[in-house]
Structure 1
Protein backbone atom coordinates (compact mmCIF):
# COMPACT_ATOMS: atom_id res chain seq x y z
CA UNK A 1 0.00 0.00 0.00
CA UNK A 2 1.38 3.42 -0.95
CA UNK A 3 1.46 6.43 1.35
CA UNK A 4 -1.40 8.04 -0.56
CA UNK A 5 -3.48 4.87 -0.45
CA UNK A 6 -2.95 4.69 3.30
CA UNK A 7 -3.91 8.34 3.68
CA UNK A 8 -7.07 7.88 1.59
CA UNK A 9 -8.06 4.85 3.66
CA UNK A 10 -7.59 6.87 6.85
CA UNK A 11 -9.71 9.72 5.50
CA UNK A 12 -12.43 7.35 4.31
CA UNK A 13 -12.51 5.57 7.65
CA UNK A 14 -12.98 8.79 9.58
CA UNK A 15 -15.44 10.33 7.12
CA UNK A 16 -17.58 7.20 7.34
CA UNK A 17 -17.43 7.27 11.15
CA UNK A 18 -18.41 10.94 11.30
CA UNK A 19 -21.27 10.36 8.89
CA UNK A 20 -22.52 7.50 11.07
CA UNK A 21 -22.17 9.64 14.21
CA UNK A 22 -24.12 12.48 12.61
CA UNK A 23 -27.00 10.18 11.66
CA UNK A 24 -27.05 8.56 15.11
CA UNK A 25 -27.54 11.80 17.05
CA UNK A 26 -30.82 11.59 18.93
CA UNK A 27 -32.64 12.90 21.98
CA UNK A 28 -29.59 12.13 24.11
CA UNK A 29 -27.70 14.91 22.33
CA UNK A 30 -30.61 17.28 22.97
CA UNK A 31 -30.70 16.23 26.63
CA UNK A 32 -26.96 16.82 26.95
CA UNK A 33 -27.38 20.32 25.51
CA UNK A 34 -30.24 21.03 27.93
CA UNK A 35 -28.11 19.94 30.89
CA UNK A 36 -25.23 22.13 29.72
CA UNK A 37 -27.52 25.12 29.11
CA UNK A 38 -28.92 24.85 32.62
CA UNK A 39 -25.47 24.59 34.21
CA UNK A 40 -24.99 27.39 36.75
CA UNK A 41 -21.35 26.56 37.35
CA UNK A 42 -18.69 25.33 34.95
CA UNK A 43 -18.48 22.49 32.48
CA UNK A 44 -15.72 20.20 33.76
CA UNK A 45 -14.26 17.92 31.09
CA UNK A 46 -12.27 14.87 32.15
CA UNK A 47 -10.45 12.04 30.39
CA UNK A 48 -7.17 10.12 30.35
CA UNK A 49 -4.58 9.69 27.61
CA UNK A 50 -5.71 10.67 24.13
CA UNK A 51 -9.20 11.28 25.49
CA UNK A 52 -7.62 13.73 27.90
CA UNK A 53 -5.94 15.62 25.06
CA UNK A 54 -9.27 15.85 23.25
CA UNK A 55 -10.93 16.87 26.52
CA UNK A 56 -8.47 19.72 26.96
CA UNK A 57 -9.35 21.06 23.54
CA UNK A 58 -13.07 20.56 24.19
CA UNK A 59 -12.90 22.57 27.42
CA UNK A 60 -10.97 25.33 25.65
CA UNK A 61 -13.59 25.49 22.90
CA UNK A 62 -16.43 25.69 25.42
CA UNK A 63 -14.64 28.46 27.34
CA UNK A 64 -14.01 30.56 24.25
CA UNK A 65 -17.57 30.27 22.97
CA UNK A 66 -19.52 31.37 26.01
CA UNK A 67 -19.63 28.24 28.18
CA UNK A 68 -17.24 28.53 31.17
CA UNK A 69 -15.23 25.33 31.26
CA UNK A 70 -11.97 23.72 32.35
CA UNK A 71 -10.23 20.35 32.13
CA UNK A 72 -9.79 18.15 35.20
CA UNK A 73 -7.18 15.38 34.96
CA UNK A 74 -8.65 12.17 36.46
CA UNK A 75 -5.33 11.07 37.95
CA UNK A 76 -4.80 14.40 39.69
CA UNK A 77 -8.46 14.54 40.71
CA UNK A 78 -8.00 11.26 42.58
CA UNK A 79 -5.26 12.93 44.61
CA UNK A 80 -6.71 16.31 45.56
CA UNK A 81 -7.85 18.10 42.42
CA UNK A 82 -11.38 16.77 42.88
CA UNK A 83 -11.85 19.88 44.98
CA UNK A 84 -11.97 21.84 41.71
CA UNK A 85 -15.43 20.41 41.10
CA UNK A 86 -18.42 22.34 42.47
CA UNK A 87 -22.01 21.28 43.08
CA UNK A 88 -23.28 23.60 40.34
CA UNK A 89 -20.97 22.13 37.70
CA UNK A 90 -21.56 19.54 34.98
CA UNK A 91 -19.03 16.82 34.14
CA UNK A 92 -18.31 15.58 30.63
CA UNK A 93 -16.46 12.30 31.08
CA UNK A 94 -14.62 10.88 28.05
CA UNK A 95 -13.50 7.28 27.71
CA UNK A 96 -13.57 5.18 24.55
CA UNK A 97 -13.80 1.94 26.52
CA UNK A 98 -15.84 3.43 29.33
CA UNK A 99 -13.65 1.53 31.77
CA UNK A 100 -10.68 3.87 32.24
CA UNK A 101 -9.63 3.12 35.81
CA UNK A 102 -8.75 6.66 36.90
CA UNK A 103 -11.95 8.10 35.45
CA UNK A 104 -14.32 5.38 36.65
CA UNK A 105 -12.86 5.76 40.14
CA UNK A 106 -14.13 9.34 40.26
CA UNK A 107 -17.70 8.58 39.28
CA UNK A 108 -19.10 7.58 42.71
CA UNK A 109 -17.74 10.80 44.23
CA UNK A 110 -19.22 12.86 41.40
CA UNK A 111 -22.62 11.25 41.90
CA UNK A 112 -22.35 11.76 45.65
CA UNK A 113 -22.36 15.55 45.19
CA UNK A 114 -25.17 15.21 42.63
CA UNK A 115 -23.25 16.67 39.71
CA UNK A 116 -24.71 15.58 36.32
CA UNK A 117 -22.45 13.36 34.20
CA UNK A 118 -22.47 13.41 30.40
CA UNK A 119 -20.57 10.39 29.11
CA UNK A 120 -18.85 10.26 25.73
CA UNK A 121 -17.94 6.65 25.10
CA UNK A 122 -17.87 3.89 22.52
CA UNK A 123 -19.23 1.34 25.00
CA UNK A 124 -22.85 1.80 26.00
CA UNK A 125 -22.66 -1.07 28.49
CA UNK A 126 -19.61 0.27 30.33
CA UNK A 127 -19.23 1.41 33.92
CA UNK A 128 -19.06 5.00 32.71
CA UNK A 129 -22.33 4.65 30.80
CA UNK A 130 -24.07 3.17 33.85
CA UNK A 131 -23.06 6.10 36.06
CA UNK A 132 -23.94 8.76 33.47
CA UNK A 133 -27.10 10.84 33.34
CA UNK A 134 -26.85 10.89 29.55
CA UNK A 135 -24.67 8.85 27.19
CA UNK A 136 -23.38 10.14 23.86
CA UNK A 137 -22.35 7.00 22.01
CA UNK A 138 -19.59 7.32 19.41
CA UNK A 139 -20.49 4.17 17.47
CA UNK A 140 -16.98 3.81 16.04
CA UNK A 141 -16.54 0.37 14.46
CA UNK A 142 -12.82 0.45 13.71
CA UNK A 143 -9.93 2.81 14.26
CA UNK A 144 -8.11 4.17 11.22
CA UNK A 145 -4.97 2.54 12.57
CA UNK A 146 -4.42 -0.70 10.62
CA UNK A 147 -3.69 -2.45 13.91
CA UNK A 148 -6.97 -1.23 15.34
CA UNK A 149 -5.11 0.01 18.40
CA UNK A 150 -4.08 3.68 18.14
CA UNK A 151 -6.94 6.05 19.03
CA UNK A 152 -7.62 7.81 15.73
CA UNK A 153 -11.19 7.61 14.47
CA UNK A 154 -12.54 7.51 18.02
CA UNK A 155 -10.67 10.67 19.00
CA UNK A 156 -11.75 12.45 15.82
CA UNK A 157 -15.37 11.54 16.52
CA UNK A 158 -15.04 12.75 20.11
CA UNK A 159 -13.52 16.03 18.96
CA UNK A 160 -16.28 16.69 16.44
CA UNK A 161 -18.96 15.74 18.96
CA UNK A 162 -17.47 18.23 21.42
CA UNK A 163 -17.49 20.93 18.74
CA UNK A 164 -21.13 20.11 17.96
CA UNK A 165 -22.04 20.58 21.62
CA UNK A 166 -20.12 23.86 21.88
CA UNK A 167 -21.58 25.35 18.70
CA UNK A 168 -25.11 24.25 19.62
CA UNK A 169 -24.75 26.09 22.94
CA UNK A 170 -23.17 29.11 21.24
CA UNK A 171 -26.14 29.46 18.92
CA UNK A 172 -28.70 28.80 21.65
CA UNK A 173 -27.15 31.53 23.82
CA UNK A 174 -26.99 34.05 20.98
CA UNK A 175 -23.22 34.34 21.41
CA UNK A 176 -21.89 37.16 19.20
CA UNK A 177 -18.59 38.13 17.61
CA UNK A 178 -18.33 40.83 20.28
CA UNK A 179 -18.68 38.16 22.98
CA UNK A 180 -16.02 36.10 21.23
CA UNK A 181 -13.68 39.09 21.26
CA UNK A 182 -14.02 39.40 25.04
CA UNK A 183 -12.80 35.80 25.30
CA UNK A 184 -9.83 36.62 23.06
CA UNK A 185 -8.59 40.06 24.18
CA UNK A 186 -5.05 39.41 22.95
CA UNK A 187 -6.02 37.98 19.60
CA UNK A 188 -6.42 39.78 16.31
CA UNK A 189 -10.21 39.59 16.47
CA UNK A 190 -10.23 40.85 20.05
CA UNK A 191 -8.16 43.86 19.12
CA UNK A 192 -10.35 44.62 16.12
CA UNK A 193 -13.56 44.46 18.12
CA UNK A 194 -12.48 45.83 21.49
CA UNK A 195 -9.71 48.42 21.10
CA UNK A 196 -10.94 51.99 20.82
CA UNK A 197 -9.11 55.12 19.77
CA UNK A 198 -8.75 56.02 23.46
CA UNK A 199 -6.74 52.82 24.02
CA UNK A 200 -4.18 53.68 21.34
CA UNK A 201 -3.94 57.49 21.07
CA UNK A 202 -1.47 59.80 22.78
CA UNK A 203 -2.81 62.63 24.91
CA UNK A 204 -1.77 65.56 27.05
CA UNK A 205 1.58 67.14 26.22
CA UNK A 206 2.18 64.60 23.43
CA UNK A 207 -0.60 66.17 21.33
CA UNK A 208 0.88 68.80 18.96
CA UNK A 209 -1.11 72.04 18.94
CA UNK A 210 -0.34 75.44 17.47
CA UNK A 211 -2.19 78.77 17.99
CA UNK A 212 -3.97 79.99 14.87
CA UNK A 213 -2.06 83.28 15.23
CA UNK A 214 1.35 81.56 15.07
CA UNK A 215 3.72 81.64 12.12
CA UNK A 216 4.49 78.72 9.85
CA UNK A 217 7.90 78.46 11.53
CA UNK A 218 6.27 77.91 14.93
CA UNK A 219 3.98 75.27 13.44
CA UNK A 220 7.04 73.49 12.03
CA UNK A 221 8.66 73.48 15.45
CA UNK A 222 5.50 71.99 16.97
CA UNK A 223 5.40 69.29 14.29
CA UNK A 224 9.04 68.32 14.73
CA UNK A 225 8.84 68.25 18.53
CA UNK A 226 5.96 65.74 18.62
CA UNK A 227 6.93 63.54 15.68
CA UNK A 228 3.48 63.04 14.16
CA UNK A 229 4.03 64.98 10.95
CA UNK A 230 1.06 67.23 11.74
CA UNK A 231 -0.10 69.81 14.28
CA UNK A 232 -3.59 70.91 15.31
CA UNK A 233 -4.31 74.57 14.71
CA UNK A 234 -6.47 75.92 17.55
CA UNK A 235 -8.14 79.23 18.39
CA UNK A 236 -8.03 81.11 21.70
CA UNK A 237 -10.51 78.61 23.20
CA UNK A 238 -8.38 75.64 22.12
CA UNK A 239 -11.00 74.67 19.54
CA UNK A 240 -9.70 72.98 16.40
CA UNK A 241 -9.93 75.24 13.37
CA UNK A 242 -7.58 73.39 11.06
CA UNK A 243 -4.49 71.22 10.71
CA UNK A 244 -1.05 71.83 9.32
CA UNK A 245 0.86 68.86 7.95
CA UNK A 246 4.06 68.23 6.05
CA UNK A 247 1.89 68.14 2.91
CA UNK A 248 0.63 71.66 3.66
CA UNK A 249 4.23 72.74 4.15
CA UNK A 250 5.30 71.41 0.73
CA UNK A 251 2.46 73.25 -0.96
CA UNK A 252 3.33 76.43 0.93
CA UNK A 253 6.99 76.24 -0.05
CA UNK A 254 6.00 75.79 -3.69
CA UNK A 255 4.39 79.23 -3.36
CA UNK A 256 7.65 80.59 -1.91
CA UNK A 257 6.05 81.87 1.28
CA UNK A 258 8.17 83.33 4.09
CA UNK A 259 7.86 80.83 6.95
CA UNK A 260 9.12 83.45 9.43
CA UNK A 261 6.39 85.95 8.63
CA UNK A 262 3.44 84.05 7.16
CA UNK A 263 0.64 83.07 9.53
CA UNK A 264 -0.08 79.35 9.61
CA UNK A 265 -3.76 80.21 9.17
CA UNK A 266 -2.95 81.21 5.57
CA UNK A 267 -1.62 77.78 4.59
CA UNK A 268 -3.37 75.31 6.91
CA UNK A 269 -6.08 72.84 5.89
CA UNK A 270 -9.31 74.20 7.33
CA UNK A 271 -11.18 71.77 9.57
CA UNK A 272 -9.33 68.57 8.83
CA UNK A 273 -10.23 64.97 9.61
CA UNK A 274 -10.89 64.19 13.27
CA UNK A 275 -12.54 61.53 15.40
CA UNK A 276 -13.78 60.74 18.90
CA UNK A 277 -12.05 58.68 21.58
CA UNK A 278 -14.86 56.11 21.58
CA UNK A 279 -14.44 55.12 17.93
CA UNK A 280 -13.18 51.58 17.40
CA UNK A 281 -9.51 51.60 16.46
CA UNK A 282 -10.21 49.49 13.38
CA UNK A 283 -12.70 52.12 12.21
CA UNK A 284 -10.03 54.78 12.70
CA UNK A 285 -7.82 52.78 10.32
CA UNK A 286 -10.57 52.86 7.70
CA UNK A 287 -11.08 56.59 8.29
CA UNK A 288 -7.39 57.27 7.66
CA UNK A 289 -7.23 55.04 4.60
CA UNK A 290 -10.34 56.56 3.05
CA UNK A 291 -8.93 60.07 3.53
CA UNK A 292 -5.36 59.08 2.62
CA UNK A 293 -3.86 60.45 5.82
CA UNK A 294 -1.44 58.99 8.35
CA UNK A 295 -2.62 60.85 11.47
CA UNK A 296 -5.70 62.50 12.90
CA UNK A 297 -6.80 64.33 16.01
CA UNK A 298 -9.22 63.18 18.68
CA UNK A 299 -11.73 65.81 19.77
CA UNK A 300 -13.94 66.15 22.84
CA UNK A 301 -17.52 67.41 22.74
CA UNK A 302 -16.26 71.01 22.62
CA UNK A 303 -14.22 70.22 19.47
CA UNK A 304 -10.97 70.59 21.40
CA UNK A 305 -8.10 68.21 20.56
CA UNK A 306 -7.55 65.85 23.49
CA UNK A 307 -5.59 63.18 21.67
CA UNK A 308 -3.72 62.31 18.50
CA UNK A 309 -3.55 59.06 16.58
CA UNK A 310 -1.23 57.86 13.84
CA UNK A 311 -1.18 54.83 11.58
CA UNK A 312 2.10 53.81 13.23
CA UNK A 313 0.38 53.70 16.65
CA UNK A 314 -2.36 51.50 15.21
CA UNK A 315 0.22 49.25 13.58
CA UNK A 316 2.16 48.96 16.83
CA UNK A 317 -1.05 48.07 18.71
CA UNK A 318 -1.72 45.23 16.27
CA UNK A 319 -4.88 46.75 14.82
CA UNK A 320 -3.52 46.98 11.28
Structure 2
Protein backbone atom coordinates (compact mmCIF):
# COMPACT_ATOMS: atom_id res chain seq x y z
CA UNK A 1 0.00 0.00 0.00
CA UNK A 2 1.36 3.42 -1.01
CA UNK A 3 2.27 5.76 1.80
CA UNK A 4 1.29 9.37 2.26
CA UNK A 5 4.24 11.73 2.22
CA UNK A 6 4.68 14.50 4.76
CA UNK A 7 7.32 17.20 4.29
CA UNK A 8 8.18 19.36 7.31
CA UNK A 9 10.23 22.45 6.42
CA UNK A 10 11.87 24.93 8.75
CA UNK A 11 14.01 27.93 7.84
CA UNK A 12 17.51 26.53 8.20
CA UNK A 13 20.78 26.89 10.05
CA UNK A 14 24.49 26.90 9.20
CA UNK A 15 26.17 23.51 9.10
CA UNK A 16 28.53 24.74 11.81
CA UNK A 17 29.19 27.98 13.68
CA UNK A 18 32.37 28.56 11.68
CA UNK A 19 32.46 31.75 9.62
CA UNK A 20 32.68 29.91 6.28
CA UNK A 21 29.50 27.93 6.99
CA UNK A 22 27.67 30.97 8.33
CA UNK A 23 28.70 32.87 5.20
CA UNK A 24 27.34 30.09 3.00
CA UNK A 25 24.04 30.01 4.90
CA UNK A 26 23.53 33.77 4.90
CA UNK A 27 24.32 34.02 1.19
CA UNK A 28 21.69 31.41 0.28
CA UNK A 29 19.14 32.87 2.66
CA UNK A 30 19.53 36.52 1.73
CA UNK A 31 19.82 35.92 -2.02
CA UNK A 32 16.29 34.52 -2.01
CA UNK A 33 14.24 37.11 -3.95
CA UNK A 34 11.35 36.63 -1.54
CA UNK A 35 13.58 37.54 1.41
CA UNK A 36 15.28 40.62 -0.02
CA UNK A 37 12.68 41.59 -2.61
CA UNK A 38 14.55 44.26 -4.54
CA UNK A 39 16.13 44.54 -7.97
CA UNK A 40 18.38 41.47 -8.56
CA UNK A 41 21.45 43.60 -9.28
CA UNK A 42 20.93 45.62 -6.10
CA UNK A 43 20.24 42.44 -4.08
CA UNK A 44 23.48 40.86 -5.29
CA UNK A 45 25.45 43.99 -4.44
CA UNK A 46 23.89 44.29 -0.98
CA UNK A 47 24.16 40.62 -0.04
CA UNK A 48 27.48 39.60 -1.55
CA UNK A 49 29.18 42.97 -1.38
CA UNK A 50 28.08 44.29 2.01
CA UNK A 51 25.87 42.15 4.26
CA UNK A 52 27.48 38.70 4.04
CA UNK A 53 31.15 39.82 4.23
CA UNK A 54 30.52 42.04 7.26
CA UNK A 55 27.80 40.07 9.02
CA UNK A 56 29.19 36.54 8.74
CA UNK A 57 32.00 36.87 11.34
CA UNK A 58 29.64 38.60 13.79
CA UNK A 59 26.90 36.00 13.29
CA UNK A 60 29.41 33.17 13.65
CA UNK A 61 30.30 34.44 17.14
CA UNK A 62 26.60 34.44 18.08
CA UNK A 63 26.05 30.92 16.75
CA UNK A 64 29.01 29.72 18.82
CA UNK A 65 27.22 31.04 21.91
CA UNK A 66 24.19 28.78 21.35
CA UNK A 67 25.87 25.81 19.62
CA UNK A 68 25.93 22.49 21.46
CA UNK A 69 28.88 20.19 20.81
CA UNK A 70 26.59 17.15 20.62
CA UNK A 71 23.30 18.41 19.18
CA UNK A 72 24.45 21.39 17.12
CA UNK A 73 22.08 24.31 16.62
CA UNK A 74 18.87 24.37 18.72
CA UNK A 75 16.72 24.87 15.62
CA UNK A 76 18.02 21.76 13.88
CA UNK A 77 18.03 19.76 17.11
CA UNK A 78 14.37 20.44 17.85
CA UNK A 79 13.36 20.09 14.21
CA UNK A 80 14.87 16.59 14.16
CA UNK A 81 12.98 15.73 17.36
CA UNK A 82 9.71 17.04 15.89
CA UNK A 83 10.31 14.97 12.76
CA UNK A 84 10.98 11.79 14.73
CA UNK A 85 8.10 12.26 17.16
CA UNK A 86 5.60 12.96 14.38
CA UNK A 87 6.82 9.98 12.33
CA UNK A 88 6.44 7.71 15.36
CA UNK A 89 2.98 9.09 16.04
CA UNK A 90 1.72 8.67 12.46
CA UNK A 91 3.01 5.14 11.94
CA UNK A 92 3.62 3.10 8.80
CA UNK A 93 0.85 4.71 6.75
CA UNK A 94 2.97 7.86 6.40
CA UNK A 95 6.51 8.74 5.40
CA UNK A 96 7.71 11.91 7.11
CA UNK A 97 10.73 13.83 5.85
CA UNK A 98 12.42 16.93 7.28
CA UNK A 99 14.00 19.71 5.26
CA UNK A 100 15.37 23.20 5.69
CA UNK A 101 14.60 25.97 3.23
CA UNK A 102 18.26 26.92 3.33
CA UNK A 103 21.18 24.51 3.77
CA UNK A 104 20.83 20.97 5.10
CA UNK A 105 18.86 18.78 4.84
CA UNK A 106 17.68 20.35 1.59
CA UNK A 107 14.12 20.39 0.30
CA UNK A 108 15.28 18.68 -2.88
CA UNK A 109 16.87 15.76 -1.01
CA UNK A 110 13.75 15.29 1.12
CA UNK A 111 11.48 15.36 -1.92
CA UNK A 112 13.75 12.87 -3.68
CA UNK A 113 13.22 10.45 -0.78
CA UNK A 114 9.46 10.80 -1.04
CA UNK A 115 9.62 10.38 -4.81
CA UNK A 116 11.76 7.24 -4.51
CA UNK A 117 9.24 5.77 -2.07
CA UNK A 118 6.41 6.26 -4.58
CA UNK A 119 4.23 8.11 -2.08
CA UNK A 120 0.68 8.66 -3.29
CA UNK A 121 0.55 12.25 -2.05
CA UNK A 122 2.71 14.93 -0.44
CA UNK A 123 1.56 17.32 2.26
CA UNK A 124 3.90 20.25 2.89
CA UNK A 125 3.93 21.89 6.31
CA UNK A 126 6.14 24.97 6.44
CA UNK A 127 6.90 25.34 10.14
CA UNK A 128 5.98 29.02 10.37
CA UNK A 129 2.72 29.69 12.25
CA UNK A 130 2.08 33.01 10.50
CA UNK A 131 2.16 33.25 6.71
CA UNK A 132 4.77 35.45 5.05
CA UNK A 133 5.99 35.50 1.47
CA UNK A 134 9.58 35.43 2.75
CA UNK A 135 9.06 32.22 4.75
CA UNK A 136 6.04 30.07 3.90
CA UNK A 137 5.76 31.53 0.39
CA UNK A 138 9.43 30.82 -0.29
CA UNK A 139 9.08 27.20 0.84
CA UNK A 140 6.08 26.62 -1.41
CA UNK A 141 7.77 28.21 -4.41
CA UNK A 142 10.85 26.03 -3.91
CA UNK A 143 8.75 22.87 -3.61
CA UNK A 144 6.74 23.70 -6.73
CA UNK A 145 9.87 24.50 -8.74
CA UNK A 146 11.37 21.11 -7.88
CA UNK A 147 8.24 18.99 -8.24
CA UNK A 148 7.25 20.84 -11.40
CA UNK A 149 10.17 19.14 -13.19
CA UNK A 150 9.00 15.64 -12.28
CA UNK A 151 7.35 13.56 -14.98
CA UNK A 152 4.86 12.15 -12.50
CA UNK A 153 3.54 14.58 -9.92
CA UNK A 154 1.54 13.18 -6.98
CA UNK A 155 -1.24 15.04 -5.27
CA UNK A 156 0.30 17.93 -3.31
CA UNK A 157 -1.26 20.02 -0.55
CA UNK A 158 0.01 22.85 1.65
CA UNK A 159 -0.83 24.16 5.11
CA UNK A 160 -0.98 27.90 4.49
CA UNK A 161 -0.68 28.96 8.13
CA UNK A 162 -1.65 27.80 11.60
CA UNK A 163 -1.50 31.05 13.54
CA UNK A 164 -4.70 30.20 15.43
CA UNK A 165 -4.07 26.49 15.94
CA UNK A 166 -5.70 25.70 19.27
CA UNK A 167 -3.12 23.16 20.41
CA UNK A 168 -0.25 25.44 19.41
CA UNK A 169 -1.82 28.30 21.38
CA UNK A 170 -2.27 26.00 24.38
CA UNK A 171 1.37 24.88 24.20
CA UNK A 172 2.68 28.45 24.25
CA UNK A 173 0.28 29.22 27.11
CA UNK A 174 1.43 26.13 29.03
CA UNK A 175 5.07 27.12 28.55
CA UNK A 176 4.35 30.64 29.75
CA UNK A 177 2.20 29.59 32.69
CA UNK A 178 5.16 27.95 34.43
CA UNK A 179 6.73 31.39 34.87
CA UNK A 180 3.62 32.87 36.50
CA UNK A 181 3.00 35.77 34.07
CA UNK A 182 1.09 37.67 36.73
CA UNK A 183 4.36 38.20 38.62
CA UNK A 184 6.00 40.11 35.74
CA UNK A 185 5.72 43.85 35.16
CA UNK A 186 5.00 43.45 31.45
CA UNK A 187 4.64 40.74 28.79
CA UNK A 188 6.08 40.95 25.28
CA UNK A 189 4.93 38.96 22.28
CA UNK A 190 7.97 39.41 20.05
CA UNK A 191 7.65 38.21 16.45
CA UNK A 192 10.27 38.10 13.73
CA UNK A 193 10.17 41.30 11.71
CA UNK A 194 9.53 41.95 8.03
CA UNK A 195 10.00 45.04 5.85
CA UNK A 196 6.77 47.05 5.63
CA UNK A 197 6.91 46.85 1.84
CA UNK A 198 6.34 43.08 2.04
CA UNK A 199 3.13 43.62 4.01
CA UNK A 200 1.96 46.19 1.46
CA UNK A 201 2.61 43.75 -1.40
CA UNK A 202 0.27 41.26 0.26
CA UNK A 203 -2.57 43.80 0.31
CA UNK A 204 -4.29 43.09 -2.99
CA UNK A 205 -6.79 45.90 -2.40
CA UNK A 206 -3.95 48.48 -2.43
CA UNK A 207 -5.84 50.66 0.03
CA UNK A 208 -5.83 48.87 3.38
CA UNK A 209 -2.33 47.93 4.62
CA UNK A 210 -0.83 50.76 6.67
CA UNK A 211 -3.52 53.12 5.35
CA UNK A 212 -6.23 52.18 7.84
CA UNK A 213 -5.64 52.92 11.51
CA UNK A 214 -5.08 49.72 13.46
CA UNK A 215 -5.30 47.66 10.27
CA UNK A 216 -3.41 44.74 11.88
CA UNK A 217 -5.29 44.73 15.17
CA UNK A 218 -8.21 42.62 13.94
CA UNK A 219 -8.01 39.71 11.53
CA UNK A 220 -10.57 39.98 8.70
CA UNK A 221 -11.14 38.96 5.08
CA UNK A 222 -8.97 41.80 3.80
CA UNK A 223 -5.88 41.07 5.89
CA UNK A 224 -6.31 37.33 6.48
CA UNK A 225 -2.97 36.56 4.76
CA UNK A 226 -1.13 39.45 6.43
CA UNK A 227 1.82 38.36 8.59
CA UNK A 228 1.36 41.21 11.03
CA UNK A 229 -2.40 40.68 11.41
CA UNK A 230 -1.91 36.97 11.97
CA UNK A 231 0.82 37.73 14.53
CA UNK A 232 -1.50 40.07 16.43
CA UNK A 233 -4.16 37.37 16.40
CA UNK A 234 -1.77 34.73 17.74
CA UNK A 235 -0.66 36.98 20.57
CA UNK A 236 -4.22 37.86 21.56
CA UNK A 237 -5.21 34.18 21.67
CA UNK A 238 -2.27 33.34 23.95
CA UNK A 239 -3.01 36.34 26.16
CA UNK A 240 -6.65 35.26 26.45
CA UNK A 241 -5.58 31.75 27.51
CA UNK A 242 -3.46 33.24 30.27
CA UNK A 243 -5.94 35.98 31.23
CA UNK A 244 -3.37 38.69 30.52
CA UNK A 245 -5.13 42.07 30.28
CA UNK A 246 -4.48 44.19 27.16
CA UNK A 247 -2.71 46.91 29.11
CA UNK A 248 -0.12 44.45 30.41
CA UNK A 249 1.23 43.15 27.09
CA UNK A 250 2.76 44.56 23.92
CA UNK A 251 3.05 43.00 20.46
CA UNK A 252 6.38 43.86 18.81
CA UNK A 253 8.81 42.77 16.11
CA UNK A 254 12.52 41.94 16.21
CA UNK A 255 15.54 41.27 13.96
CA UNK A 256 15.18 44.14 11.53
CA UNK A 257 17.88 44.57 8.87
CA UNK A 258 18.81 47.69 6.93
CA UNK A 259 17.42 51.22 6.98
CA UNK A 260 14.01 50.64 5.34
CA UNK A 261 11.02 50.72 7.72
CA UNK A 262 10.02 47.31 9.08
CA UNK A 263 6.90 46.19 10.90
CA UNK A 264 6.55 48.16 14.11
CA UNK A 265 6.85 48.60 17.01
CA UNK A 266 10.41 47.30 17.24
CA UNK A 267 11.16 45.01 20.17
CA UNK A 268 14.39 46.85 21.01
CA UNK A 269 12.53 50.16 21.32
CA UNK A 270 9.78 48.64 23.46
CA UNK A 271 12.36 47.07 25.79
CA UNK A 272 14.07 50.46 26.19
CA UNK A 273 10.74 52.23 26.74
CA UNK A 274 9.65 49.79 29.44
CA UNK A 275 12.99 50.08 31.23
CA UNK A 276 12.71 53.88 31.26
CA UNK A 277 9.20 53.54 32.70
CA UNK A 278 10.66 51.66 35.63
CA UNK A 279 9.62 48.14 34.67
CA UNK A 280 11.95 45.56 36.22
CA UNK A 281 10.85 42.14 34.97
CA UNK A 282 9.74 41.19 31.45
CA UNK A 283 8.36 37.90 30.18
CA UNK A 284 8.86 37.36 26.44
CA UNK A 285 6.99 34.99 24.11
CA UNK A 286 8.27 34.43 20.54
CA UNK A 287 5.27 32.81 18.80
CA UNK A 288 6.68 33.08 15.27
CA UNK A 289 9.07 30.20 16.02
CA UNK A 290 8.16 26.55 16.58
CA UNK A 291 11.71 25.76 17.75
CA UNK A 292 14.16 27.77 19.78
CA UNK A 293 16.92 29.31 17.69
CA UNK A 294 19.37 32.20 17.50
CA UNK A 295 16.52 34.74 17.47
CA UNK A 296 15.07 33.42 20.71
CA UNK A 297 17.89 31.89 22.74
CA UNK A 298 20.42 34.65 22.04
CA UNK A 299 18.64 37.73 20.68
CA UNK A 300 15.94 37.87 23.34
CA UNK A 301 17.84 36.53 26.34
CA UNK A 302 21.26 38.06 25.73
CA UNK A 303 20.80 41.10 23.51
CA UNK A 304 17.48 42.46 24.76
CA UNK A 305 18.18 41.19 28.25
CA UNK A 306 21.48 43.06 28.28
CA UNK A 307 19.92 46.25 26.93
CA UNK A 308 17.16 46.05 29.51
CA UNK A 309 19.56 45.66 32.42
CA UNK A 310 21.78 48.47 31.14
CA UNK A 311 18.77 50.79 31.37
CA UNK A 312 17.84 49.76 34.89
CA UNK A 313 15.78 46.62 34.33
CA UNK A 314 16.45 43.44 36.26
CA UNK A 315 15.39 40.39 34.27
CA UNK A 316 14.14 39.31 30.85
CA UNK A 317 12.68 35.79 30.83
CA UNK A 318 12.23 33.94 27.53
CA UNK A 319 9.31 31.55 27.28
CA UNK A 320 10.53 28.40 25.53
CA UNK A 321 9.21 27.66 22.06
CA UNK A 322 7.10 24.63 21.09
CA UNK A 323 10.20 22.45 20.66
CA UNK A 324 9.37 18.79 21.43
CA UNK A 325 6.19 19.39 23.45
CA UNK A 326 3.76 16.43 23.10
CA UNK A 327 0.86 18.85 22.63
CA UNK A 328 2.68 20.45 19.69
CA UNK A 329 3.15 17.02 18.13
CA UNK A 330 -0.60 16.54 18.65
CA UNK A 331 -1.14 19.72 16.65
CA UNK A 332 1.05 18.49 13.79
CA UNK A 333 -0.78 15.16 13.77
CA UNK A 334 -4.12 16.95 13.52
CA UNK A 335 -2.87 19.06 10.62
CA UNK A 336 -1.70 15.96 8.77
CA UNK A 337 -4.94 14.09 9.28
CA UNK A 338 -7.09 17.04 8.39
CA UNK A 339 -8.83 17.23 11.70
CA UNK A 340 -10.17 20.51 13.07
CA UNK A 341 -7.52 22.64 14.71
Normalising by the residue count of structure 2, what TM-score does the alignment of the two structures yield? Answer: 0.27
Normalising by the residue count of structure 1, what TM-score does the alignment of the two structures yield? Answer: 0.29
Higher relative contact order (CA 8 A, sep 6+): 2
